Structure formats: structure tokens, C-alpha cells
Amino acid sequence: MPSISHNGEQLTSISVRPDLLTAPRNSHADHTSISPGEIAIGVVIGRASEYFDFFVYAIASVLVFPSVFFPFEQRLEATLYSFVIFSFAFIARPIGTVAFMAIQRHLGREAKLTIALVLLGISTAGIAFLPTFSHLGYASIVILASLRIGQGLAMGGSWDGLPSLLALNAPQHKRGWYAMLGQLGAPVGFMIAGSLFAYLLSSLSPEDFLDWGWRYPFYVAFAINVVALFARLRLVSTNEYARLLDERELEPTKIAEMSGSQGRNVLIGALAALASYALFHLVTVFPLSWLTLYSTRSLTDVLYIQVTGAGLMSLGVIASGLIADRYGRRNTLGTFALFIAILSVFVPSLLGGGESAQNTFILVGFALLGLSYGQAAGAVTANFSAKYRYTGAALTSDLSWLVGAGFAPLVALGLSAHFGLAYVSLYLLSGAACSIAALSLNRALEIRD
């Protein structure tokens, strides 16, 4: 049987029961077993492809869309409009989760995941081929907004339960380590997307980049989605995967039923990770937009600094797994929310300073993001009873993205441009305060119960 070892500890897969091999519901599936290592690979591949898609759009929202879709506005206003459309995916994401959960109940997991990733691929490819404002006028903006909503719906529908399955099958004292694996997709996705845009900026003239060069990363994102689809379907379509999900009761439940029973856990879970999700865009998208508007720095250099920061983030994510297994996931998340609050105080002096100060903010911010975000997905979702964990984990993530990250670039740029960088400090500080309060409330409720 396949196995994976960590620090000398071996985890073996569970063999398939004969009665399940003959079950009609999965009679079409491949009769193989799945090791925790294969689940981990599926998690990393799936999340890395999603985050690459995510960051390609995010970077284009700063470097490309203000010029090619909003040329009739000043650069600041054009970027703010671009960020408005950027937020549409986060609004659509929980809607997509609810809709695709219903699809899964009627058509099955494979159909749900296939439809979601096909929709994501079509939306991404549609942006790659979308005529700009100079060709279609305002219709191009409407189509861009529609495709962005399509991306959000697809992201909600692409939830496959693999992170929850991986965490539940991990040893009790290794759950922080396994919980961080899916989070590694974020720095990996940014490093690829940021490097690709930096290369195009340095290799092409500004005219060529805005004419056709910016479309290339969207083509690459579409190709990666196709590869990720087959990699994930290979797991989803097996009897063993279905058996493991059934054994852990990782099945979609009706939203009304879950909200009535687990609404408190969804709310606390969404707020507990708020510091991580707020910081997420304040070290990736926002600095790029701020420096584009208010500095003369080379954007290629800024992107390479951010790519370096993403490398530090990946180390932070890995370290978070070790720290969480030693001190507890919630303690880890709360401690680094406090460090994020401290960092928020220095936003004006660092981001408003010279190149060294700006680089310090980006690099320190990315490192803190990795340490915090590494446990953002698993610290509170363990509160859900088995029956509701599949749907609850998905909705908790959706709401964390919506509340913490969806509007962060828009709010941060709007506040800083009109009132100063000190208001970005307050925005980040409020996210950290919400995280600490939610984690404290969760602890108090746990003791009471």
C-alpha cells in the first residue's frame, strides 16, 4: 500500500472494502487506494493552480486593466474602478459554493468539480481574448465584470474537501503540519505569476505589453487549470476517495440546515482569520498599486521584491505547521495576529519611506503572512461537527476572503489616496483586533461548552 512518512512516522492508506467496490454509486471509478501523500499532492496542485489564476488577475488589475479598460479616467480613479471589479469574484464565491453544493448532491463530486473548473477555465480564457475599451467601449467593461463573476462562482464550486480530508486523516500531533500544505499554494502561485509579469515587463515595450503581452499569463493560467483538473479528478473519481469522504461524513449539507446549527462557528471562523486575509492583499496588490501611482520605482523591481517576499512566505507557511503542532493552531493564529497589529503601526513610515523602507514592509509583511496564513484554514474549522465540516469549511473560507480580502485593495488605496497611509494602519489593525477577539470568544465558548 502507498505510504508517506514524516519524522519517522509512517501513515498508511486504508484498503478498500469489497462491499464499497461493488457499490453502484462508484462503479465507474478506479479501484485503487489513496495514501495521505497523494491527498497532499492533490491539495498542493489544486490550490497552487487556483492561486496562480487568482494572482494573474490581481496583478493585471494594477498593471493593465486601468489603462486598457478605463482609459477615460485618471490613473487613480481607473485603478479604483479596476479594484471594484476585482472584488466581484469574492462576492460571487459564496454564491458559487452554495450553487455547486446543490450540483454535487444531484450529480456527484466529479460532475461538480468538472463544471466548476471548466467555468474557471472559460472565464480565464475569456479575459485573455477580451477586446479592450478601444475596440468595444463600455461593453468590454461589462464583459470583464461578467467573466470576473464567473471566476468567483467557479472558485466557490471548486471546493473538493481535500484539505479537510487531509487534516482529519493526519495524526493528532501533526495536524498543524498537514493543515498548512494547502496554504502553500498561495506563495507558489504568486511566485509564478509575479515572475511571469516581471519578465514580460522587462522584455516588452510598454506599448507591446499593454497591447498583447498581458494576455499571455491568462493563457498560461488556462493551461494550468486543465492540468490541475485532471490531477484532481484522478483522486475524486476513485472509490477510495469516496469511501474516505463518506467515512468522515464530508458531504455537502443544505445551507439553511447548517446555518441554523453551525452559524456561530461559521462567523467565528471567518473573523478568526481576518488579520491574515487583510494582510494578504496589503502586501501583494496594494503596495503594487501604491508604488505605481506615487513612486518612480521600476515595477519590475517591485515585482521581484514581492516574489522574494513570497519565497519568505512559503518558509513561513512551513514554519507555521511546526509551530502550530507545538503550541496549538489557535494560539499560533492569535500570536501572529498580534504581530500583524504591531506591523500595522509602521505602515506609514515604511510604505511612505524610501526604497529600503518599502522593501522592508513587503518582505516582513510576506513573512508574517506566511506564519499567520499557514494556519488560517484549520484553526477554527475543527469546531464543526463531522456532518457540517465539508460545507462549513468552504463557507468559512469564502466569508473570510469576502470580509477580509475582497475589498482590501479598494479600501486601502481609496483611504490612503484621500486621507493618508495612516488609515491603512487602522484598516489592518481592525482586522487583527477582530481575529484576536474571535479567537478569544471561540476559546471562551469552548470552555463553557
347 Cβ contact list (under 8 Å, min separation 6)? 282, 361, 421, 422, 424, 425, 428
**What type of residue is 300?**
T
Asked which of 169-173, 205-209, 320-324 is least confident by mean pLDDT, the reply is 169-173
With a cut of 60, say whether residue 3 has pLDDT above it.
no
Which tens digit of pLDDT belongs to each residue from 293-308? 999 899 999 999 999 9
pLDDT confidence tier of residue 227, bands split at 50, 70 and 90: confident
pLDDT confidence tier of residue 283, bands split at 50, 70 and 90: very high
Q: What is the reported pLDDT for 381?
A: 64
Higher-confidence residue of 159 and 280: namely 280
Q: What is the reported pLDDT for 411?
A: 95
Asked which of 114-118, 222-226, 356-360, 422-426 is least confident by mean pLDDT, the reply is 222-226
Asked which of 67-71, 82-86, 249-253 is least confident by mean pLDDT, the reply is 249-253
- Cα torsion 321, 323, 328, 331: sign: negative
Which tens digit of pLDDT belongs to each residue from 84-118? 999 999 999 999 999 999 998 888 888 888 898 88
**C-alpha to C-alpha distance for 349 and 301, rounded to whole angstroms:** 20
Q: What is the reported pLDDT for 194?
A: 95
With a cut of 50, say whether residue 212 has pLDDT above it.
yes
Higher-confidence residue of 34 and 444: namely 444
Q: Mean pLDDT, to the nearest integer, of 273-282?
A: 91
With a cut of 90, say whether residue 391 has pLDDT above it.
no
With a cut of 50, say whether residue 28 has pLDDT above it.
no
Which tens digit of pLDDT belongs to each residue from 125-149? 999 999 999 999 999 999 999 999 9
**C-alpha to C-alpha distance for 248 and 168, rounded to whole angstroms:** 8
Average of per-residue pLDDT values in the chain: 84
Which tens digit of pLDDT belongs to each residue from 396-433? 888 888 988 899 999 999 999 999 999 999 999 999 99
Max Cα distance, the chain (Å): 67
Q: Mean pLDDT, to the nearest integer, of 310-333?
A: 91
Which tens digit of pLDDT belongs to each residue from 431-443? 999 999 988 888 7
Which grid cell sits at 415? 483611504
Tell me the residue length of the chain: 449
**C-alpha to C-alpha distance for 118 and 97, rounded to whole angstroms:** 15
pLDDT confidence tier of residue 19, bands split at 50, 70 and 90: very low
Higher-confidence residue of 248 and 349: namely 349
Q: What are the Cα distances from residue 410, in Å, to 13, 281, 433?
A: 46, 10, 20
pLDDT confidence tier of residue 30, bands split at 50, 70 and 90: very low
Which grid cell sits at 440? 478569544
**Terminal alpha carbon distance of the chain:** 41
Q: What is the reported pLDDT for 36?
A: 63
Q: Mean pLDDT, to the nearest integer, of 240-259?
A: 74
Q: What is the reported pLDDT for 21?
A: 37
Q: What is the reported pLDDT for 34?
A: 61
Q: Which long-range contacts (CB under 8 A, 24 or more apart) does 251-258 make?
A: 251/387, 251/390, 252/101, 252/102, 252/104, 252/105, 252/390, 252/391, 253/101, 253/387, 253/388, 253/390, 253/391, 255/98, 255/101, 255/391, 255/395, 258/388, 258/391, 258/392, 258/395
With a cut of 70, say whether residue 379 has pLDDT above it.
no
Asked which of 50-54, 165-169, 256-260 is least confident by mean pLDDT, the reply is 165-169
Which grid cell sits at 144? 470583464
Q: What is the reported pLDDT for 6?
A: 41
Asked which of 154-168, 198-212, 301-315, 407-421 is least confident by mean pLDDT, the reply is 154-168
Evaluate if pTM is beyond 0.75.
yes
